[in-house]
Structure 1
C-alpha cells in the first residue's frame, strides 16, 4: 500500500527540521566576524613572535583609542595610533636591547571583541631581563582594532622606563 502524499510531505518536513536542528548544534550562535577577528589578531601575534615589527601599524586603526589600565605613571588613554606609538611604545622600545617577543598567548573572540592573554620577554639596554604578562582587549572594526585596553604589570614596565636611559 502506498502512503498518502501528505505523509511524504510530513516526513520531508520532519527531516528538514532535524537537519536544521543538527546544523544549529554544529555551529554555535555567534556573529560571523568572531572567527575572522580572532584569526586576524592571532596571525598578527604569530608574525610578531616570528620577528615581525609591524604589529601596531598592521593591527591598529589609525584612530584607535588605547587605554593602559592601572594607576602607575604609564597608565592612561592614548587617542590615535601614532600618539600611542610616540608616547607609549617608542619610549619603552628605546630602552630595550632586544624587542619584546610574545612567547605564549591565548586568544578568545566574541563578535567584535578579541581578548589576548600573552607573555612577553625582552632584554633591557642595561642587560636585565624584562618579562611581563599582558591581557589586551580589542574591539575590532573592518579588520583593525578601533579600541584597545591593556592590562599588565605596570611596575615592571615603569621600572624599565625609570631605570634605563633611552638609546638614541
Structure 2
C-alpha cells in the first residue's frame, strides 16, 4: 500500500507540474512570440548585409534608413553622432573607403539579439592605400524598425582607426 501511495504522489506531482507548464505556455503573451520573430528577421537581415559586404555585392549600410542616427563611441577622430544616412556615408564610409586599396572584409564573431536590436561583434581587415594592412574589431548595436536600421552605435579600437585615418590620405 505504501508503494501505491508513493506512486500516486509522484503522479499527482507530475500532473501538477504538467499543468503549470501548460498554463505558462497558454498564458505567454503574443508579444513574446512576435519579438522572437522580429529578432530572427533582424538577425537574418544583419547576416545578409554582412554576407553581401564580405562577397563584394553590397553592405549593411544599404539597410540604413535615410534619417538613421549612427553614433561612433569613444575618442576616435570620427567619434560623434551622425544624423542621417548621408551624413554618415559622406563623413565616414566614403572617406574610409577612399583610404583603402581594396575592400574591407568583415568576419562575424558573434551576433546577439534583443527585441528590435541586433548586436554584431566582428573583425574587419583590408589593405590601405599605403600598402599597410588595416585591421580592427568592432561591435555594432543596430536598432531596426521594419527592415531599416534607424539607430546604430559603434565601438572599435580607436588607436588603430586614428593611425589609419591620419596616416592615409583619401584618394580624390
More helix by share: 2
Deviation at 1:43, TM superposition (A): 1.4
Q: 2:58 aligns with which of 53, 62, 87?
A: 53
Give RMSD over aligned pairs.
2.1
Deviation at 1:18, TM superposition (A): 7.8
Deviation at 1:19, TM superposition (A): 8.2
Contiguous gaps of at least 5 residues in structure 2: 1-15, 27-31
Determine if contact 2:46/2:60 at 8 Å carries over to the other structure. no
Separation in 2 of the partners of 1:39 and 1:54?
Answer: 14
What does 1:1-168 correspond to in 2, within 5 Å?
Answer: 20=22, 29=32, 31=35, 32-57=37-62, 59-168=63-172
SS in 2 for 1:136: strand
> Alignment length, in residue pairs?
149
Determine if contact 2:76/2:161 at 8 Å carries over to the other structure. no
Separation in 1 of the partners of 2:67 and 2:130?
Answer: 34
Contiguous gaps of at least 5 residues in structure 1: 1-13
What is the TM-score with the length of structure 2 in the denominator? Answer: 0.79
